[in-house]
Amino acid sequence: MTARSDLGGGVGWMVFGLVILAASWRMDRFEAMGATVYTAPGFVPAIFGFSLLLLGAVLAWRGWSAQRVTGGAESEPMLSRRIGLMLALTLAYAAGLVGRVPFWLATTVFVTAFTAAFADTLPPLRRTFTALASGVLTSAAVLVVFERIFLVRLP
């Protein structure tokens, strides 16, 4: 971890803490129903918001002090081509296909596409066959295990 990411993270937590504090302050306090400050819905979230504000400030201060000494070194990037591709495939499956097309079809398409995209050390023909076999078998196995054996409803 770098001083720069700690500084950024600290500021982020401070902002998040402030947002929680503000939202907690604006919550109904049920004074008409005889509620005290301790039973107000915003009381406990406000404590967490304040804690995040405080801890975020310490983290930001620590990052800022370290940055002054070390000069802000770049951290390892969070997103790479592999992660981008994986995110695209997983989000398309779970947030796009599931619930909109039949589950067996969505799963077959997802597993086939994922395996084909990442099994890049295999020769093209074997890669296609492996990906397709993996997709069909996974889909069938999930259907049998969840729906038939464990009686769990599928999306």
Question: Which residue, among 147, 125, 5, 152, has the nearest Cα to 74 in the 3D structure?
Answer: 5
Residues 49-65 as b or e (16 or more Cβ within 10 Å = b)? beebbeebeebbeebbe
Number of H helices, E strands in the chain: 5, 0
* Residue closer to another protein, measured from CB, 71 or 149: 149
Question: Which residue, among 47, 45, 60, has the nearest Cα to 15 in the 3D structure?
Answer: 60
CB of 121 to another protein, least distance (A): 8
CB of 10 to another protein, least distance (A): 9
CA distances from 105 to 83, 86, 112, 130 (A): 24, 19, 11, 17
* Residue closer to another protein, measured from CB, 6 or 71: 6
> In the complex, which residues of this chain contact another protein (CB under 8 A)?
1, 5, 9, 13, 20, 23, 27-28, 30, 33, 35-39, 41-45, 47-49, 51-52, 55-56, 58-59, 62, 75-76, 78, 80, 82-83, 86-87, 89-91, 93-95, 98-99, 107, 110-111, 114-115, 117-119, 130, 134, 138, 142, 145-146, 150-155
* Residue closer to another protein, measured from CB, 71 or 85: 85
* Residue closer to another protein, measured from CB, 21 or 71: 21
